[in-house]
Amino acid sequence: MEELDKTDLLLLKILADNSNHTIKELAKRVNLSPTPVLQRVRRLENNGYIKKYIALLNPEKFSQGFIVFCNIKLKRHDRQVGHRLVTEILKIDEVVECYNVSGDYDFILKVFAKDMKHYQEFVFNKLGTLESIGSTHSTFVMAEIKNSHNINL
């Protein structure tokens, strides 16, 4: 792993907070000219420190502010069953995050829905059709306290 200097780390912190800065704005914030800042950002991108740039949409503005964490247990633990579940989960729009985890459950899904009725339809009509699922457990978000995609640098 390459060494990142203070300027690299500062650029990453600034971009993690708001990736919409221009190179000129970034250069001003780190006290360098635009050309070396552009070179540093490209190097950080090429070396995988920056995976991608995204716009974080407000789910409430799209009537999808009902957030649920759905824990899933597989029917059986074998490669074919797990692979089948992952393939199907990738096709479901309501699922915005999916993690393969250890412990009492095999997967945790983060689901955006319109309301409880929409989530119930999602469980019955989408999750319920997946043969690899043994059981599910849902946890409903009452309030979002912190939602940061920043890494402690």
For the chain, the domains span 6-46, 59-140
Handedness of CA 67, 69, 74, 77 (dihedral sign): positive
Amino acid at 47: N
Look-up: residue for tokens 């899933």? 72
Domain 59-140 has CATH 3.40.50.300: no
Report residue 122 as tokens.
Answer: 């999602």
The mean pLDDT of 131-150, rounded to a whole number, is: 92
CATH of 6-46, one of 1.10.10.10, 3.40.50.1820, 1.20.1630.10, 3.40.50.410: 1.10.10.10
pLDDT tens track for 85-105:
999 999 999 999 999 999 999
- Token pair for 30: 């780190």
Question: Could you read off the pLDDT of 70-81 as tens digits, one per residue?
Answer: 999 999 888 888
Quick one: tokens of 76?
């059986």
Instruction: Give percent of the chain with pLDDT exceeding 70.
Output: 99
Integer Cα distance of 112 and 72 in angstroms: 16
Confidence of residue 69 (pLDDT cuts 50, 70, 90): very high
